[in-house]
């Protein structure tokens, strides 16, 4: 009987046929004996994480696959990013993500990442706790030049534009409301006051004095974006009766897991980059089955190679995944193993696309089909047919015998 789940999501795994690879996708062209062995013992299919006709973001697609329909539970990237750096949100908070950037005296952006400043904690500390008209700003460091910002107070709204114009050599944007509500107007006004005040503090901050002396750009402006308003989310354990944990390198994925109340396990060597230690991650996933019912493992670099249009790199990285996936050939009999992508990131497009991704379910009680390879074309012949991200958790519950009876 099944008791445990390992779910591996390879970001942006799906692709399109590539001429240089003999009209195969990187996943088809890669040598993947271990994943193919697993597929040959699995029920396979294709998945549109958000449904057909949708180009999924990584945050929304993960929510759907983990059983939280994004239409109901997605409230902006900011909420997920701030949860990922360990900040606790309360109902009504507005969360934003941001970069420390460099502006000149006319507020023209000279460097969106302030020379990729690595340690911003002294700066976030100087801004943390500022109160403006009943709204408290909580500011914490993210990775590198990034920061997480929470606005807490009455009558806030996330219906505001990004202050970050997403490019350099243009002025910073005044935050304006996206609708006519008093809340949006209030939030935009208070945020503008805060950003101005933050600039004054950052401009004089000793860390920036030091940077100027060294000829480095001052991290003197907070470029904020992705406002989201938090609504309470039922935790994964309550909703599915699985104690869950996440193993990921990328902050966004740790954020999604933390947002759903899963524990985030830090694995040394898990970087979210092509040099990530896949073996360590997969081994940690298996070891954590002792402690958790549901282990979600995220692998990032497949997506990064797709976004760079680097099909050879994507293929080679998939072969690394396959090599490490040999560890999953000998899982305990009580463990359901699933591997898929959150969306396709075709090298040809260098961006996410609405193409479905292969998915396989491997474990006791699964009706293995005739598919013998893990890739975009082989899995179209699988027993699962075409599913959506929202079907994954019900399918797991069904295999565990935990789906309620419909009717009598
Ligand atoms: Zn993704």
Q: pLDDT: is 132 or 249 the higher one?
A: 132
pLDDT tens figures, 344-364: 999 999 999 999 999 999 999
Beta strand 294-299 with 4-10 is parallel
The pLDDT assigned to 142 comes to: 87
Distance from Cα 188 to the centre of ligand 1, integer Å: 30
Residue with tokens 């009680």: 365
The per-residue DSSP string of 209-271 comes to HHHHHTTPPP--EEEEEEEEE------HHHHHS--EEEE-SSHHHHHHHHHTT-EEE--TT--
pLDDT at 167 over 90: no
- The separation between CA 295 and the C-alpha centre of its own chain, rounded to angstroms, equals 16
Ligand 1: centre distance to CA 5 (Å): 21
- Cα-to-centroid distance, 167 and ligand 1 (Å): 23
pLDDT at 165: 87
The rounded Å distance from CA 96 to ligand 1 centre is: 20
* CA of residue 300 to ligand 1 center, whole Å: 8
Distance 61 CA to ligand 1 centre (A): 7
C-beta separation of 292 from 243 below 8 A: yes
Pairing of strands 244-247, 294-299: parallel
Considering only the top CATH level, what class is 4-74+232-399? alpha beta
Tell me the pLDDT of the chain averaged across its residues: 96
pLDDT band at 166 (very low <50, low <70, confident <90, very high): confident
pLDDT value for 385: 98
Q: Compute, in angstroms, the gap from residue 24 CA to the centroid of ligand 1.
A: 21
345: CA distance to ligand 1 center in Å?
Answer: 8
Cα 343 to ligand 1 centre (Å)? 6
pLDDT tens-digit series, residues 184-228: 999 999 999 999 999 999 999 999 999 999 999 999 999 999 999
Q: What's the 25 CA to ligand 1 centre distance in angstroms?
A: 17
Q: For residue 324, with 0-12 CB atoms within 10 Å meaning exposed, 13-18 middle and 19 or more buried, which class applies?
A: buried
Mean pLDDT value of segment 279-287:
98
Query: What gap in Å lies between CA 359 and CA 314, rounded to an integer?
Result: 18
Q: For the residues 110-138, what does the mean pLDDT come to?
A: 95
Decide if 121 contacts 66 (C-beta within 8 A). Answer: no
Mean local confidence (pLDDT), 322-327: 98
What are the residue boundaries of the structural domains of the chain, listed by start? Answer: 4-74+232-399, 82-228
Rounded Cα distance between 363 and 331, Å, is 9
pLDDT at residue 251, rounded to an integer: 83
Least confident residue range of 164-168, 232-236, 363-367: 164-168
Give distance in angstroms: CA of 187 to centre of ligand 1: 30
Q: State the distance from the centre of ligand 1 to the C-alpha of 51, rounded, in angstroms.
A: 15
The pLDDT value recorded for residue 16 is 98
Alpha helices in 52-156 (DSSP H): 58-65, 70-73, 77-84, 121-127
Instruction: Please report which confidence band the pLDDT of residue 272 belongs to, taking 50, 70 and 90 as the band edges.
Output: confident
Q: Percent of the chain beyond pLDDT 90?
A: 92
Can you tell me the mean pLDDT for 99-108? 95
Q: Quick: pLDDT tens for 29-85.
A: 999 999 999 999 999 999 999 999 999 999 999 999 999 999 999 988 899 999 988
CA 245 to ligand 1 center in whole angstroms: 19
Q: 248 — phi, psi (to 5°)?
A: -150, 155
Q: Is 115 left (phi over 0), alpha (psi -120 to 50) or beta?
A: left
**What local confidence, expressed as pLDDT, does residue 109 receive?**
95
Identify the pLDDT of residue 143. 81
Distance 255 CA to ligand 1 centre (A): 13
CA of 342 relative to ligand 1 center, distance in Å: 5
Residue among 175, 134, 138 nearest 153 (CA): 134
Q: Ligand 1 centroid vs 303 CA: distance in angstroms?
A: 6
Q: Ligand 1: distance of its center to the CA of 252 in Å?
A: 10
- Give the residue-averaged pLDDT of 4-23: 98
With a pLDDT cut of 70, the percent of the chain lying above it is: 100
Cα of 307 vs centre of ligand 1, distance in Å, is: 10
Q: Is the pLDDT of residue 380 over 90?
A: yes
Q: Which residues surround ligand 1, an ion (CB under 5 A)?
A: 11, 58, 342
Q: Give distance in angstroms: CA of 106 to centre of ligand 1.
A: 37
pLDDT at 1: 87
| Six-digit token string for 208 | 């920036």
Going from the Cα of 180 to the center of ligand 1, the distance in angstroms, rounded, reads 33
CB contact at 8 A, 100 and 221: yes
CA of 185 to the centre of ligand 1 (A): 33
Instruction: Label residue 110 by pLDDT band (50, 70, 90).
Output: very high
């Amino acid at each position: 009987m099944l008791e445990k789940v390992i779910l591996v999501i390879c970001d942006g795994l799906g692709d399109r046929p590539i001429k240089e690879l003999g009209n195969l996708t990187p996943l088809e062209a890669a040598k993947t004996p271990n994943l193919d062995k697993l597929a040959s013992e699995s029920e396979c299919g294709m998945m549109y994480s958000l449904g057909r006709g949708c180009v999924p973001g990584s945050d929304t697609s993960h929510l759907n696959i983990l059983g939280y329909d994004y239409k109901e539970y997605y409230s902006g990237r900011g909420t997920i990013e701030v949860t990922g750096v360990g900040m606790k949100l309360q109902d009504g908070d507005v969360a934003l993500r941001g970069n420390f950037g460099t502006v000149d005296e006319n507020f023209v952006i000279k460097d969106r990442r302030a020379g990729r400043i690595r340690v911003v904690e002294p700066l976030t500390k100087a801004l943390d706790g500022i109160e403006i008209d009943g709204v408290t700003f909580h500011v914490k460091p993210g990775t590198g030049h990034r920061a997480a910002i929470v606005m807490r107070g009455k009558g806030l709204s996330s219906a505001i534009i990004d202050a970050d114009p997403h490019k350099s050599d243009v002025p910073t944007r005044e935050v304006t409301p996206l609708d006519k509500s008093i809340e949006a107007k209030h939030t935009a006004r208070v945020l503008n006051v805060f950003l101005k005040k933050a600039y004054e503090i950052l401009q004089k901050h000793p860390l920036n004095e030091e940077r100027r002396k060294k000829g480095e750009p001052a991290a003197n402006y907070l470029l904020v974006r992705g406002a989201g308003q938090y609504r309470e989310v039922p935790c994964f354990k309550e909703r599915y009766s699985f104690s869950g944990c996440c193993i990921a390198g990328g902050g966004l994925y740790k954020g999604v897991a933390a947002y759903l109340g899963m524990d985030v396990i830090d694995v040394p060597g898990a970087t979210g980059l092509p040099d990530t230690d896949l073996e360590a991650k997969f081994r940690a996933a298996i070891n954590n089955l002792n402690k958790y019912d549901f282990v979600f493992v995220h692998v990032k670099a497949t997506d990064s190679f797709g976004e760079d249009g680097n099909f050879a790199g994507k293929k080679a990285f998939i072969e690394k995944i396959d090599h490490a996936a040999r560890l999953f050939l000998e899982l305990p009999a009580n463990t359901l193993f699933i591997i898929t992508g959150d969306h396709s990131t075709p090298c040809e497009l260098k961006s996410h696309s609405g193409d479905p991704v292969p998915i396989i379910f491997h474990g006791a009680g699964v009706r293995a089909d005739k598919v013998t390879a893990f890739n975009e074309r082989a899995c179209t012949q699988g027993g699962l047919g075409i599913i959506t991200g929202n079907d994954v958790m019900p399918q797991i519950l069904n295999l565990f015998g935990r789906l309620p009876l419909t009717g009598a």
